[in-house]
Amino acid sequence: MSEQQFHLDTVEHAAQTPDTELPWAELGLKKEEFERVVEILGRRPTAAELAMYSVMWSEHCSYKSSKTHLRQFGEKVSEEMTKDLMVGMGENAGVTDIGDGWAVTFKIESHNHPSYVEPYQGAATGVGGIVRDIISMGARPVAVMDPLRFGAIEHPDTQRVVHGIVAGVGGYGNCLGLPNIGGEVEFDPCYQANPLVNALAVGVLRHEDLRLANASGTGNKVVLFGARTGGDGIGGASVLASESFDDSKPSKRPAVQVGDPFAEKVLIECCLELFHASLVEGIQDLGAAGISCATSELASNGDGGMHVDLSSVLLRDPSLTPGEILMSESQERMMAVVDPAKTEDFEAVLEKWEVEYSWIGEVTDTGRLIIDWQGEVIVDVDPRTVAHDGPVYERPYHRPERQDEIQADHFTGSAADTGRPAGERLKEAVLELMASPNLCSRDWVTDQYDRYVQGNTAMAMPDDAGVIRVDEQTGLGVALSTDCNGRYAYLDPYAGAQLALAEAYRNVATSGARPVAVSDCLNFGSPEDPEVMWQFAEAVRGLADGCLEIGVPVTGGNVSLYNQTGEEAIHPTPVVALMGVLDDVRRRTPSGWDASADGQAIYLLGSTAAELDGSEWARLRGHLGGQPPAVDLAREKLLGELLINMSRDGMIDSAHDVSEGGLAATLSEMCLRFGIGARIGLGEVADRDGVDEFTMLFSESQGRAVVSVPRSEEVRFKDMCTMRDYPYARIGVVDVVSDALDLMGAARIPLPELREAHESTLPRFFG
Amino acid sequence: MARIVVDVMPKPEILDPQGKAIVRALPHQGVTVFSGVRQGKRFELEVDGEVTDEILATAREAAETMLSNPVIEDVVNVSVIDDVEA
Amino acid sequence: MSANTFETPLVADLSAPGADPALKDVRVGIVTFPGTLDDRDAARAIELAGGTAVRLWHADDDLQRVDAVVLPGGFSYGDYLRAGAISRFAPLMARIVDAAGDDGGLPVLGICNGFQILTEAHLLPGSMIRNDHLKFVCRDQRLRVENASTAWTGDFTAGQEIVVPLKNNDGQYVCDQVTLERLEAEGRVVFRYLGRNPNGSLNDIAGVTNARGNVVGLMPHPEHAVEPGFGPDSTGSGPVAKGDGTDGLGLFTSALNALVNGSSAGSATTDGGTRA
**CATH number attached to the domain at A11-65+210-387:** 3.90.650.10
Look up the domain containing B74 and give its range: 2-82
Q: How far apart are CA A642 and CA A663, in angstroms?
A: 19
CA dihedral A156, A158, A160, A166 (to 10 degrees): -160
Q: How far apart are CA C205 and CA C84, in angstroms?
A: 19
For A606-697, list the strands marked E by DSSP: 654-657, 678-680
The neighbour count for residue A46, using CB atoms within 10 Å, is 31
Spell out which residues of chain A touch residue B72, defining contact as CB-CB under 8 Å. Answer: 118, 121, 254, 256, 258
- Provide the whole-model pTM: 0.92
CB contact under 8 A, A252 and B69: no
Nearest alpha carbon to residue A551 among A485, A505, A588, A583: A505
pLDDT at A242: 40
Total domain count for chain B?
1
> Could you tell me if A304 lies within 8 Å of chain C, comparing CB atoms?
no
CATH number for domain C22-261, candidates 3.40.50.880, 3.30.420.40, 3.40.50.300, 3.40.640.10: 3.40.50.880
Residue A339: count of CB within 10 angstroms of its CB: 16
Residue numbers in C near A452 (CB within 8 A): 41, 138, 165, 167, 221, 224
**Four-residue CA torsion sign, C228, C233, C235, C241:** positive
Which residues make beta-bridge pairs with C234?
A: C239
Collapsed DSSP state (helix, strand, coil) of residue B27: helix
Residues making up chain B, counted from first to last: 86
Number of Cβ within 10 Å of residue B85's Cβ equals: 4
Which letter does DSSP use for residue A332 in this model? S
Q: CA-to-CA distance for C119 and C176, rounded, in angstroms?
A: 13
Mean pLDDT of the C61-84 span: 94
Residue closest to A628 by CA, chosen among A335, A415, A364, A407 = A407
Q: How far is CA A88 from CA A202, A493, A580, C225, in A?
A: 15, 25, 16, 38
Residue B83: pLDDT band by 50, 70, 90 thresholds? low
> Per residue in A130-167, is it b (16+ CB within 10 Å) or e — as a string?
bbbbbbbbbbbbbbbbbbbbbbebeeeebeebbbbbbb
Long-range CB contacts for residues A342-347, cutoff 8 Å, separation at least 24: A342/A279, A343/A221, A345/A277, A345/A279, A346/A223, A346/A274, A346/A279, A346/A280
Q: Given the residues C47, C146, C223, C227, select the one marked as catalytic.
A: C223
| A253 contacts in chain B (CB < 8 Å) | 13
Query: Which residues in chain C touch residue B21, judged by CB atoms under 8 angstroms apart?
Result: 77-78, 80-81, 86
Between CA A88 and CA A299 the distance in angstroms is 19
Tens-place pLDDT, residues C20-49: 788 999 999 999 999 999 999 999 999 999
Given an 8 Å threshold on Cβ–Cβ distance, is A261 in contact with C1?
no
Give the length of chain C.
276
Q: What is the mean pLDDT of chain C?
A: 89
Q: Pairing relation of β-strands A305-309 and A369-373?
A: parallel
Strand partners, A369: A306, A381
CB B86 within 8 Å of CB B18? no
Interface check for A458 against chain C (CB to CB < 8 A): the answer is yes
d(CA C247, CA C10): 20
Give the gap in angstroms from C-alpha A489 to the nearest C-alpha of chain B: 35
> Is C221 an active-site residue?
yes
A60 is catalytic: yes
- pLDDT bracket for residue C263 (50, 70, 90): low
For C1, other C-beta atoms within 10 Å of its C-beta total: 10
The answer to whether the beta carbons of residues A151 and A189 sit under 8 Å apart is: yes
Q: What's the pLDDT score for residue A254?
A: 65
* Cβ A50 vs Cβ A37: under 8 Å: yes
Q: Which residue of C has its CA nearest to B22?
A: C81
Residue B86 above 60 pLDDT? no
A351, A353, A355, A360: CA torsion to nearest 10? -50
- Work out the percent of chain C whose per-residue pLDDT is above 90: 79
Q: What is the pLDDT, as a whole number, of residue A89?
A: 75
Q: What is the pLDDT of residue C4?
A: 38
Domain chopping of chain C, boundaries: 22-261
Decide: A537 and A397 in contact? Cβ < 8 Å: yes
- What is the reported pLDDT for A235? 53
pLDDT in tens, C195-229: 999 999 999 999 999 999 999 999 999 999 999 99
Given this model, what pLDDT does residue C240 score? 87
pLDDT in the model for residue C276: 30
- Assign residue B16 the CATH number of its domain: 3.30.1280.10
**Searching chain B, which residue's CA lies closest to the CA of residue A316?**
B15
Phi-psi region of A307 (alpha: psi -120 to 50; beta: other; left: phi over 0): beta
Chains contacting C with at least 3 CB pairs below 8 Å? A, B
Q: What pLDDT is attached to residue A257? A: 83
Q: Which position among A13, A69, A111, A758 bears the catalytic label?
A: A111
Could you say which DSSP state residue A312 is in? G
Instruction: Give chain A's residues under pLDDT 50.
Output: 1-4, 236-251
B82 has a pLDDT exceeding 80: no
Query: b/e string for A512-546 if b means 16 or more Cβ within 10 A?
Result: bbbbbbbbbbbbbbbbebebbbbbbbbbbbbbbbb
Q: What percent of chain C has pLDDT over 70?
A: 88
Ligand-binding annotation for A330, yes or no, is yes
Q: Of the residues A13, A60, A69, A758, which is catalytic?
A: A60
Q: What is the mean pLDDT of residues B7-19?
A: 87
Rounded Cα distance between A139 and A210, Å, is 7
Query: Is A107 annotated as belonging to a binding site?
Result: yes
Q: What is the pLDDT of residue A28?
A: 86
**Which among C80, C86, C90 has the least Cβ separation from residue B17?**
C80
pLDDT tens readout for residues A251-274? 456 667 889 999 999 999 999 999
So where are chain A's domains?
11-65+210-387
ipTM of the complex: 0.91
> Is the peptide bond prior to A462 cis by the omega test (within 30 degrees of 0)?
yes
Report whether C77 contacts A491 (CB < 8 A): no
